[in-house]
Structure 1
Amino acid sequence: MSTLDAKTRGRTAPGRLRALDAYLCRFEPRLLSRVDGAWARAVFVDVGFGEHPWTTLESAEAFRVLQPELTVIGVELEEARALAAQVHAGPRTHFRQGGFELPLSADEPARLVRAMNLLRQGPAERVSDVHHALGRFLLPSGLLVEGSSDPEGSVLTAHLLRRASADGDAPPMREALLFHTDFRNGFAPLLFRDWLPRDLRRRVRPGEPMHTFFQAWMEAWRQAREAGHTSPPDAFRESVTRLGTRLGGVAMDAWLLDSGYLVWRPEGGVSP
């Protein structure tokens, strides 16, 4: 156990990260399916799967539609949980005890590392160190996904961090923020504030980029409702469309808007 690691409750629910799986399958198909060179050995790592490996197994099923031979490795800090998950192991599905210093061998580079709902507690200052530690295992252009969701997966936010070069000492680039809701709890932009990644939760204050972002989205949402877009899905779609006209980096893909996703790629990346 490294100084970066901290025990979590480990509670999760089936389906909690399916919206994240769906996004990755649609917008990162080459990352998930690539098999040339070192990518033939590149794995997907699910860090901190908890008491039950439901999310790991669900992701394995989703991603193997794109790459049937994909190796999936579930990592859990508590040894008892890692041992209990072995009943679900198979030729391409492995469960290992470990933390942010991932238990990968030299011939297991990572194409995708996911660490959801692990950093909500503890100091925000450790987040960049965790990103750096996890990013070391990625192949160039590999992706690290780190963030939070509510217990049911109805509201989710995540950093999308890309390893830009072969330099293992370089931290992954903070490429984008991903937001998703299934509208089970209605919709207003501030619905996401409490589920921001740990290092951004206290940055929604005047003078900070996250405050500017939410202020612009709230204004777009109010205007959308005043224009008659009052149902949660309609208000979401219209508010994101209006936000995109006043704030750079907002993805305007129709599937995203219709499915409750917002992706924000500010120029220069997401400010820490």
Structure 2
Amino acid sequence: MAVRIPHQRPVGTVTRGTTNPNRLRRMDRWIAAVHGGAVRRGREAVAVDLGYGAAPWTAVELLARLRTVRPDARVVGIEIDPARVQAARPYERDGLVFAHGGFEVPLPGGHRPVLIRAANVLRQYDETEVRAVWERLCGRLASGGLLVEGTCDEIGRRHVWVALGPEGPRTVTFATRLGSLVQPSDLAERLPKALIHRNVAGEPVHAFLRDFDRAWAAAAPLAPLGARQRWVRAVRDLAADWPLDGGPNRWRQGEVTVRWEALAPRGG
């Protein structure tokens, strides 16, 4: 059944719409593993896949992954392009619907989502516009809700995202398929819009990636044991100088999460 919402002009612009099955698996698995408790405790069981693109695969997959932590989870896929919404209608099912909208995050009945996932949506915007979009989206969250906004490559091998609550940004997570990695700074090309232009000398994110590359190089003797062992050692060494969240269980997944305040742009 189609979601019916009051008529209003969507906020935002149409994206390229590029998508692929399983593209957002790293982000989804991190949400379920690290923030599954918040999803379970949320009064609302609804999550939003904002700007899912030309095909609805990511919304379908988000529902399946959230239901591993909350069986009554529901997902609303929201797209600013009405043609994409119509194309997604045949994939609607129990717990999954699609709606026309944008950054205003229209949900029926005044519901507020426990999660908004916005992947590969803000890359076409100016850096100066990001903060206002974050604030708008966080203002739509339910109490204790989470916004996850970031960027990945076309098949989800490399991904960087920011996690935000109603109070603002909390963490930045770097995630990769370790077998494809030459050095950690390869992930710089997937920095979200708030950080991608800050990967220059004098900015914290540049210093972080520099130190990560150095730790990776120092861990080279572990390379014969596999990229996973080398990554874990590099992250462990990095933790001596940078405020990391999580621990070895997440590091072994090819992830590292850094507190936002350590990477926040200077003067921003």
TM beyond 0.5: yes
Partner of 1:112: 115
Q: Cα RMSD over matched residues?
A: 2.0
The higher-RCO structure (CA 8 Å, 6+ apart) is 2
Verify the 8 A CA contact 2:10 2:104 in the aligned structure 1.
no
Aligned to 2:259: 265
Q: Out of 195, 204, 207, which is 1:200 matched to? A: 195
Runs of at least 5 residues in structure 2 that lack an aligned partner in the other structure: 1-7
- Of residues 46-55 and 251-260 in structure 1, the stretch that sits farther from structure 2 once superposed is 251-260
**Of the candidates 175, 184, 191, which is equivalent to residue 189 of structure 1?**
184
Q: In the alignment, residue 24 of structure 2 is paired with which amino acid?
A: L
In structure 2, the residue matched to 1:7 is 14
Over 3 Å counting, the alpha-carbon distance change for 1:2 and 1:192 in structure 2 is farther
Share of identical aligned residues, percent? 29
CA shift in 2, pair 1:187/1:234, >3 Å: farther
Aligned to 2:235: 240
Rounded Cα–Cα distance in structure 2 between residues aligned with 1:150 and 1:8: 15
Residue 239 of structure 1: how far off its partner (Å): 1.0
- How many aligned residue pairs are there? 258
Counterparts of 2:14 and 2:118 in 1: how far apart (Å)?
Answer: 14
- TM-score, normalised to structure 1, is 0.88
Deviations 1:174-202 (A, max 9, x none): 10001110124224111110100012011
**Which letter maps to 2:14?**
K
Deviations 1:109-144 (A, max 9, x none): 110001000111231111111111111111232110
Could you tell me how far 1:90 is from its partner in structure 2?
A: 2.3
Q: Within 1, Cα distance between the matches of 2:239 and 2:37?
A: 27
Matched, 1:45 2:52: no
Give the corresponding residue for 1:178. Answer: 173
> What is the TM-score when the length of structure 2 is the normalising length?
0.90
CA contact (8 A) 1:148 1:156 kept: yes
Task: Look up the match of 2:100.
Answer: 97
Q: Which runs of 4+ in 1 moved over 3 A?
A: 1-4, 227-231, 266-272
